[in-house]
Amino acid sequence: MGSIALVVGTRPEIIKMAPIINEAKVRDLQIYIIHTGQHYSQEMSKQFFDSLALPSPNINLDIQSENKSVQLGEMISKLGDELKKTQPSIVLAVGDTNSVVAACLASIQNNIPFGHIEAGLRSYDNTMPEEINRKLVDSISSLLFVPSQRAITNLLYEGLDPERIYFTGNTIVDSIRLYGDNIFEQHTPKAKEILDEINEEFIICTIHRVSNVDNKQNLKEISNALSNFIQMPIIFLMHPRTEKQLNEFNLYDKLQENKKIHIYTSIDYLSILRLMKDDRCKIILTDSGGLQEEASILKKPCITIRPNTERPETVESKINFLVKVDEKEIIQILNQTLTNEDFMNKFEEFGNPYGDGYASSKILNIIEERWSNIEFKSPELYRQGSKSFFMMEMKEDKKRSVVENNFHCQVTMVYDEKGQPIPIPDVLKKGYRIRAIIK
């Protein structure tokens, strides 16, 4: 029986890793929790671990440098030292932060397999540090645990080995399933306090993305929109960095002049979940990636202050709206969303592409089934030296297994009749074009 190192660095990562930790405890697996310290504060991190009934991290690396390059270098070095000591069978991390990149590189450099949870998400915006992180980590991970069919297509389109890709769903759905029924009053006193204080319909707002909060003009546009929106109370769950920048740009006081804005700077996950699930919550206004998913799962319309998203399914289904960083446009889309009564039909059509709430179980099943061969192994390509690809158009419907046997190949990408990349089906239809590797 092997061991698993679980690396977290931010509060969203703790939330998404929580179901893995709980499932590993049920199975009596040996786990080692490492907190990099990327978003570390004693109060808030302890609050998250306590509210989710998680064991404390085995170690906190306490890396808090503001310089991202220095931060990443220190993380790789310290994580490498820890992994040399513990020698886990595999390292897991979830998401797209510096902590995930560091965990991946430290693992690979120590010949330890790395599994990326939430692999394959793409905005195709290389100005986002998170997008660079996602692409880098996916390209070298040993196992890719994918949250949606769209994410599978993204990975295949980039030429990644299908044998490394596993559709599991997203562990955030697990978290909502596990903790969603555990938000009654004794576990969420902060949410009760907020709900008692407001006692009417409200909007939840979170803003934390660097491009929004570190840019004075962008933050001014957002804060002006919030300051001038008086139709409904706004619960502003404020990130410490956002609070710091609002004060630095002299925007905080004006925000507080709007008595409809209620600012909270420290709140546990179960309380956030209770607020989002409450019938009085009408809209999620955010620039977060994860909250777009949670809003869709909880059937709450979402307005995302970003030019693009790595959750395009939500935008295509018109339950999530991208909006420019512009005061008038933000207010306009808020008003339009509040008056739209057709969301329940849209949510029914949307379903849930992010899994059935048992991603953590599927991930650990895959790992346990592969204990004996989770290792680095050079591909045996004596005949051709390296992988050799070819493209072919299907002239008739055939099972993928038949095509692979007849051509001694592995299908790695399929394009439908319209030329759109799709997940690899069991039956390759006439008109499909396939990309395959010669075996």
Strands 320-322 and 143-146, how do they pair?
unpaired
Helices and strands in the chain: count of H runs, count of E runs: 19, 19
Q: Is 262 a catalytic residue?
A: no
Q: How many residues does the chain have?
A: 439
Q: Are 413 and 156 in contact (CB under 8 A)?
A: yes
Q: For 375, how many CA atoms within 13 A lie in the half-sphere containing its CB?
A: 7
**Amino acid at residue number 379:** P
How far apart (Å, rounded) are the C-alpha atoms in residues 366 and 195?
A: 42
Write out the DSSP string of 195-223.
Answer: HHHH-S-EEEEE---HHHHSSHHHHHHHH
Which letter does DSSP use for residue 318 in this model? Answer: T
Quote the CA–CA distance of 167 and 155 in Å, as a whole number: 11
Choosing from 187, 208, 239, 262, which is the catalytic residue? Answer: 208
Are the C-beta atoms of residues 355 and 169 closer than 8 Å to each other?
A: yes
Please give the distance of CA 230 from its chain centroid, rounded to a whole number: 32
Angle at alpha carbon of residue 175, lines to 171 and 176, rounded to 5° = 115
Q: What is the DSSP letter of 56?
A: P
CB atoms within 10 A of CB 143: 21
- 87 vs 111: CA distance, rounded Å: 10
Q: Which residues are catalytic?
A: 208
